[in-house]
A and B are shown apart, each in its own frame.
Chain A
Amino acid sequence: MPPAVRFANVSRHFGPVRAVDGVTLDIAEGEFFAMLGPSGSGKTTCLRLIAGFEQPDEGHIEIFGETAEGVPPYKRDVNTVFQDYALFPHLTVGENVAYGLKIKGVGKAEREHKARDALAMVKLTGFEDRRPVQLSGGQRQRVALARALVNGPKVLLLDEPLGALDLKLRQQMQEELKALQDELGITFVFVTHDQGEALSMADRVAIFNEGRIVQVGAPTEVYEKPRSCFVADFVGSSNLLSPAIAASHGGDAKWTSLRPEKIGVFPIETPVKPMQVHVDGEIKMVGYHGSVTRFSVEAEGVRLAAEVPAEEEVRFDQGDRVRLIWPKSAMVALEDTK
């Protein structure tokens, strides 16, 4: 079975800017795939290449085994949920959702029926006659979703679909999107700059930087085993240890990632077990984040961030001398050579 989407060494240039630079990628059918990266990293251009709004300058794209180059967007079995939803302001919600069906020549009764079902699926029953301007951001997002899904696409593309929503709504929509994808079994390709969103929703994540994919893998894989400083720092946060520091604390002589939540904060003189690494230092800053408390500790000339769950009683203040302890296995050697 061919992959839902296949990129073979695809590049897209805008003048001197290599927006997408030699991307090779397979997205399996039924996968919830996230493209994660900072702005300008090429993830959105990749999405637009799948949708057909951009054509590759080099390389080859296949959608379900069929060549996609030269095929205009209106001849592709993919639909997009746009970042700012792009709902047509001159049409009602019902007409927006039924738009694709109307274009395909589906009869009025049938498309109204399907539009109603699609709106019910996104929990907007009874909103058919409203105008997009009368809806809240979250409701517009749902309409955009219904408008794309009603066409029965083989691949659904989502361009930062939750970016404009507030935190509560975003968390709720994340769950709903995930549930919807499970239910429909359609391939979802999801672009986001929010690593939390990518990790919590996707089956696999591709991390983009400067037009290239720097790592692809399951969320746990990219989080636990980042291959480069960029990934270690962009996905979650990380203490990056230089080769010399890593080597002197039981690691390899390579750039090394150490997650703040792997570091425990203890009083000086706490005994250290085998396979554990410790370093003594002084607390420079304490940050209270509700569920966790974050310490910034200066030890042996290096600043280390440590994150401690809130239920553990916090006994330390700024200026206290503490012992930081972490398991050796928490140190992940990276491939960077700089």
Chain B
Amino acid sequence: MSQAAATAERDGIFDRLSDLFVTRPKLLTFLLLLPPLLWIGIVYVGSLFALLLQSFYSLDDFSGLVVHQFTLSTYAQLFEEANLQIILRTVLMATFVTITCAIIAFPIAYYAARYARGWTKALFYLAVMMPLWSSYLVKIYAWKLILAKEGIITWLAQALHLTWPLNEILALPVIGGPSLSFSYIGTYLVFVYIWIPYMILPIQAALERVPVNYIEASADLGAEPRQTFWTVIFPLALPGIIAGSIFTFSLTLGDYIVPTIVGNSRLMIGQAVYTLQGTAGNIPLAAVFTVVPMVIMAFYLWMAKRMGAFDVL
């Protein structure tokens, strides 16, 4: 009797749906995954595929039209001196930015993971995330002003009578320039500033998962703090460092706004893509340039995997 009453109460459409989903969990998983899968499959992978396709076409130099015929000639253009220079310059910049970010981020992440509790932890998240809340362009223009010849750094150097080391730095070949805001140093500083949260957060997440008793166990087995760092903490943080470096490295490889606003006029990959697909109308070469960071990242991850960076995961 009471059982019949209980089922009768549950006859609504939503009740039946929940009964169906609870008894057939795979159906629910499928329905939940369908929209994101469609999005990724069509919009994301689809456009990537279209891009790849474009990279195998070429531009007719005479008419300026894209020739829809399969060719590797556009890839061959990559190996022209000027284009190789662009790639080398971008990769070097991304490398230095990534290494610097890792070195600066590690102690911050370590402090946050190990020592920050309560309000210091809240302060940490605020300090790391807050720069991400304001506009990317505003931050870069602010940096342009900071680094400009009339900017705060020059002013500070004068006030401290330290103009000469600043001038020495600016006089350095290649990386120097007329002012910090027109040099590779400036571009590099802004990149490090812009991407550092993307390095701090994954390292912090990785370090959070290193319990204190691993460190105690290592000390117990005779390891001094320095040995514990290199044999226990660093290997366990490595997946986080790799994850962070994927962000900083690939974001630097593809960015065109920072080097356009702060830096000299020599192009980086992102700017080359921007120029080629816009004013030059050379979509195939732009596509080829876009493939370059993808290949570099794939190679980087493959190397990291081979070196055992993901063994802990």
Contacts and interface: CB of A to CB of B under 8 A. Distances in A.
Given A53-B216, A88-B232, A90-B236, A100 B221 contact: yes
B220 A88 contact: no
Interface string A280-297: 000000000000000000
Given A52-B219, A86-B213, 18 more contacts: A51-B216, A53-B219, A72-B219, A74-B219, A74-B222, A79-B221, A82-B216, A84-B211, A86-B211, A86-B214, A86-B216, A88-B232, A89-B312, A99-B218, A103-B231, A104-B222, A148-B220, A151-B222
Q: Which bucket holds chain A's interface residue count? A: 20 to 34
Nearest to A100: B221
Contacts, number: 60
Contacts of B221: 74, 79, 99-100, 103, 147-148, 151
Q: Which bucket holds chain B's interface residue count? A: 10 to 19
Contacts of A89: 236, 312
A72 B227 CA distance: 14
A137 interface: no
Contacts of B235: 90
B150 interface: no
Interface of B: 211, 213-214, 216-224, 227, 231-232, 235-236, 311-312
Given A74-B219, A89-B236, A90-B312, A82 B213 contact: yes
Contacts of B220: 51, 53, 73-74, 78-80, 148
27 contacts: A53-B220, A73-B216, A73-B219, A74-B220, A74-B221, A74-B223, A78-B220, A79-B221, A80-B216, A82-B216, A82-B217, A84-B213, A86-B216, A88-B214, A89-B236, A89-B312, A90-B232, A90-B235, A99-B218, A99-B221, A99-B223, A100-B221, A103-B223, A103-B227, A147-B221, A148-B221, A151-B222
Contacts of A104: 222
B205 to A, nearest CB: 16
B224 A74 contact: yes
A148 to B, nearest CB: 8
